[in-house]
Chains A and B, each alone.
Chain A
Amino acid sequence: QQQVKQSPQSLIVQKGGISIINCAYENTAFDYFPWYQQFPGKGPALLIAIRPDVSEKKEGRFTISFNKSAKQFSLHIMDSQPGDSATYFCAADQGAQKLVFGQGTRLTINP
């Protein structure tokens, strides 16, 4: 079964807009939630991460919002730029940094 469900599968946003990607999980034992950014032909690169004792974390234009009671978390990209066009993955740590990933979201920022 898919332990982390990610949506949407693809997303098109205008330059300067806000990109929002959502993830939901079932296992309340997950204790670390990273987001990865992947460009074609490259490995995933860690973007930002959060632990469940925090409801929001912001790094530059990237923000994670975390709702522990709803078992949901989301990535917000403010002032989206064409260079942000990539595939984004949410993930959850099932222990010892064994990550379980969402299916991925292909983000396209139109200039």
Chain B
Amino acid sequence: DAGITQSPRHKVTETGTPVTLRCHQTENHRYMYWYRQDPGHGLRLIHYSYGVKDTDKGEVSDGYSVSRSKTEDFLLTLESATSSQTSVYFCAITDPSSYEQYFGPGTRLTVT
């Protein structure tokens, strides 16, 4: 998984609770991304980052926030989880030498 770890790998939480997912990379790449995967939708971009404290919204950013205080860590926060945020979340990085994008193992989040 190209030096990408995600934690936790599985989480069940209740509606209305805050949740933070962590992505950690060992490649020291600047570009990092959060996607969600849902049946029938493929993967959709939530937020992305071009570097420390440099983040921007993707196509499905409502209800999510991100932070990047270190190059290696990119955090995704659901401030108040809803059932519609039940999904599998993938972090990705881009290799600047090839522009190829690599994905982490994913976090399966269930909001009850």
Contact = CB atoms under 8 A, between A and B. Distances in A.
A10 B1 CA distance: 26
Interface in B40-88: 40-45, 48, 50, 58-59
Contacts of B50: 96
A99 B1 contact: no
A89 B40 CA distance: 11
Interface string B86-104: 0000100010000111111
A79 to B, nearest CB: 25
Nearest to B93: A97
Interface stretch (A40-48, A52-60, A61-69): A40-48
A89 B92 CA distance: 15
Contacts of B105: 42-43
Given A45-B103, A46-B101, A98 B42 contact: no
17 contacts: A4-B42, A32-B99, A42-B105, A42-B106, A43-B90, A43-B104, A43-B105, A46-B100, A46-B101, A49-B100, A89-B43, A96-B50, A97-B94, A98-B48, A99-B101, A103-B40, A104-B42
Given A41-B106, A101-B42, 15 more contacts: A6-B42, A34-B100, A43-B1, A43-B104, A43-B105, A44-B43, A45-B103, A46-B101, A91-B43, A93-B99, A96-B48, A97-B33, A97-B101, A98-B45, A103-B41
Interface of A: 4, 6, 32, 34, 36, 41-46, 49, 89, 91, 93, 96-104
